[in-house]
Amino acid sequence: MQNQNVLEVDISKKRRNANLKKSWPLIVMLSGALIFVFVFSYIPMYGITIAFKDYNPALGISKSPFIGFDNFRRFFEAYNFGSLMFNTFILSFLGFIIGFPLPIIIALLLNTIRSKKTKGVFQTIFNAPHFISVVVLVGMIFLFFGEYGLVNSIVKTFGGDGISFMLESKWFRPLFIGSGNWQEMGWSSIIYLAALAGVDPQLHESATIDGASRWQRIKNIDLPAIFPTISILLILSIGSLLSVGHEKVLLMQTGPNSVVSEIISTYVYKIGLTGNSEPGYAAAIGLFNSLINIVLLVIANYSAKKFSENSLWWYYEQYK
């Protein structure tokens, strides 16, 4: 039995070495990205230690007094802790529920277009908003939905009363989520189109001969082909569920809608970089948010591995 285990280990090592020798050009190509990530993402992680200190820029990180979990305790006991968590979760969750299926639907629809010219036109239409900057996008929102914007002008023309879209809190989430999905759904569909490009056309031809409808071909050929891609992107999306950027929210934020628009990232920005800044406290809040995302990522990956064969570490588990 022991000799068999040793033999299996030797075979596994030989297979791993063979894979490394075969993949060395890809490893060389990847080395630049790995170095970049290490230098700009891992080395700066030393700065996380200020979350456990009463950080004073004049003293530096190493000499600032250590206070343990006081910054975290202060955030948990803050009067706005509940509202910050709720606003962040609702904004992220609604954006995820609405935004995740849209690229899949667009990719499946574009894949059914046989004319390359027509397909290219629609792809350009869907992808173009991605290249609009956040500042310009928010300017467009104000232009269309401001007090004297296009929508209110049309409403008033037909005898209706104007709506204060940017001042009423109930309109913040629809505008934020809707504009975000409009901007990114086409660009996010590219990876699904790439996966669909690998589907054998003969499968569709055979299904058509057998009398399968377009929906049946999508259901039984296209969706199974992109299911592994959907699983991985779903795991990554859940892992970054609470990572809502502060830039667009701050640009859309007004006094009246701050009840629903004040989220963790905007609070961290205001605490850490504006007024009487408290970098240690802001770092503690950001670290807490990151830890929640890590927990969600692990849970999503475990669930995907349990209910399907796909996970983030599938390749490693196959060839280890």
Within-domain flag for 255: yes
pLDDT tens across 184-201, in order? Answer: 999 999 999 998 988 888
* In-domain check, residue 17: yes
Residue 312's pLDDT is what?
A: 65
- Residue 271, in any domain of the structure: yes
One domain, residues 221 and 82? yes
Q: Which helix (H) or strand (E) holds 221?
A: none
Cα(269)–Cα(13) distance, rounded to whole angstroms?
Answer: 48
* Residue-level pLDDT at 316: 46
**Alpha-carbon distance 228 to 198, whole Å?**
13
> Are 84 and 189 part of one and the same domain?
yes
| Residue 70 placed within a domain | no
Give a yes or no: residue 276 inside a domain. Answer: yes
Q: What pLDDT does residue 179 have? A: 92
Query: Is 301 found in the same domain as 201?
Result: yes
Higher pLDDT, 60 or 309: 60
Q: For the chain, give the mean pLDDT.
A: 85
- Across the range 237-244, mean pLDDT stands at 82
With a cut of 80, say whether residue 276 has pLDDT above it: no
When divided into structural domains, the chain yields a total of: 2
Q: Does 42 share its domain with 124?
A: no
Is 63 inside any structural domain?
no
Confidence of residue 9 (pLDDT cuts 50, 70, 90): low
In a domain, 108, yes or no: yes
Q: How many CA atoms lie within 13 A of 312 on its CB side?
A: 14
Structural domain range at position 272: 77-316
Q: Taking 60 as the threshold, does the pLDDT of residue 181 lie above it? A: yes
Note whether residue 311 is domain-resident: yes
Q: What angle do CA 130, 226, 102 make, to 5 degrees?
A: 40
Q: How much is the pLDDT for 10?
A: 60
Q: How confident is the model at residue 8 (pLDDT cuts 50, 70, 90)?
A: low
DSSP, collapsed to helix, strand or coil, labels residue 53 as: strand
Q: Are residues 7 and 83 in the same domain?
A: no
**Is 182 in the same domain as 285?**
yes
Residues 153 and 13 in one domain: no
Residue 257 has pLDDT above 80, yes or no: yes
148 lies in the same domain as 228: yes
b or e along 68-104 (b: 16 or more beta carbons within 10 Å of the residue's beta carbon)? eeebbeebeeeeeeeebbebbbebbeebbeebbebbb
> What's the confidence (pLDDT) of residue 35?
93
Residues 17 and 109 in one domain: no
Lowest mean pLDDT, pick from 22-31, 78-87, 308-317 = 308-317
Q: What is the CATH number of the domain that holds 174?
A: 1.10.3720.10
Q: Are residues 109 and 230 in the same domain?
A: yes
Residue 317 has pLDDT above 70, yes or no: no
Same domain? 30 vs 94: no
DSSP 66: B
Least confident of 53-67, 104-118, 245-259, 297-311: 297-311
| Residues 166, 284 within the same domain | yes
In the predicted model, what is the mean pLDDT of residues 211-230?
86
